[in-house]
Chain A
Amino acid sequence: MKSATAKIGLVVWLTLVISAGILFPMVAAPQKWYELPIIPGLEEKARIIFFHVPMAWTTVVAFIASTIYGIRFLMTKNLDYDLRSVSAAGLGTMFCILATVTGSIWAKFNWGSFWNWDPRETSIFVLLLIYGAYFALRSAVDVEEKRATLSAVYSIIAGVTVPFFIFVMPRIMTGLHPGSKGDPQGAGPVVQFKMAPNMLLVFLSSLLGFTLLYFWMFNLKVRASRLEFHSQQPQE
């Protein structure tokens, strides 16, 4: 995400996706290309999939990126990879908090309470604790090399748990969240990508847009961290 054209393209893309996600009408029998079908049990509340799921997806991308940069740091001992690893983990945590908050608001209207300790809610809470501990670990070590090595090892262990907490655990346990084991709609239209084609298009466009937005934010965060790192080095 370096050229201005790409950034403006992303802005236009996501603005269209946001507008479509909010404004496309939901009707019982869609006739026109922009009409979305009503998902039983979700109705208008189904619109959250265009925002909440991409946020959770971006969390996964960021945490996996943090793990990969952690591995690369351990292989090369290049501190720039540590900067990238912590930047990715920071953004991942931010997207994770956003996914949790949007999910919680949705839960209030769909399940009647902001927090129900549903397997999906519990798993994302544990994931937040795991990455909270990552930042606690970093803040506890003053020596740069040692901090980078310890947090790289931790980011690998944390990264291994991400697919389990996001994709596996909520699907093997009975819960309220669409896609849980025992969901009355099977795995659910969202989880199995059995959405109507126009809904799927908006959803996949949103996934792509959020992923690209993450790469832009990651680029900015890494560049800002590098400047901060260089400003802390003793001047020759």
Chain B
Amino acid sequence: MLDFLAEHQLYIVMIIVLMIWAGFLVYLFRLDGRISKLEQSVKK
């Protein structure tokens, strides 16, 4: 596995980018959920 990554460094780049992307998406989805909850509580 390490030999493969050492030979194909673009995969390391991709893993890091996808980790950042996943973190950003978690943030967006959680924000979306919290805003929806707040909107519902304001409507009530």
Smallest Cβ distance from A87 to chain B, in angstroms? 13
Residue in B14, B17, B28 whose beta carbon sits within 8 Å of that of A217 in the complex? B28
Interface magnitude class on chain A: 10 to 19
**Would you list which residues of chain A between 121 and 164 have a CB under 8 Å from chain B?**
none
Interface magnitude class on chain B: 10 to 19
B21 touches A220 (CB 8 A): no
Chain B residues within 8 Å of A223, by CB: 35, 39
Secondary structure at the B interface, as helix, strand, loop or mixed, is helix
Closest residue of chain B to A26, judged by CB?
B10
A14 touches B21 (CB 8 A): yes
Secondary structure at the A interface, as helix, strand, loop or mixed, is helix
Total residue contacts A-B, CB cutoff 8 A: 34
B42 touches A227 (CB 8 A): yes
Chain A residues within 8 Å of B25, by CB: 11
**Would you list which residues of chain A between 1 and 51 have a CB under 8 Å from chain B?**
7, 11, 14-15, 18-19, 22-23
A220 touches B42 (CB 8 A): no
- A216 interfacial contact with B, CB 8 Å: yes
Closest residue of chain A to B11, judged by CB?
A23
B13 touches A220 (CB 8 A): no
Known: A223-B35, A230-B42. 15 other contacts (CB 8 A): A7-B29, A11-B25, A15-B18, A18-B14, A18-B18, A18-B21, A19-B14, A19-B18, A22-B14, A22-B17, A23-B14, A216-B28, A217-B28, A224-B35, A227-B39
List the 4 shortest-distance A-B pairs measured between CB atoms, nearest first. A22-B14, A223-B35, A227-B38, A224-B35
Q: What residues of chain B have their CB less than 8 Å away from a CB belonging to chain A?
A: 10-11, 13-14, 17-18, 21, 25, 28-29, 31-32, 35, 38-39, 42
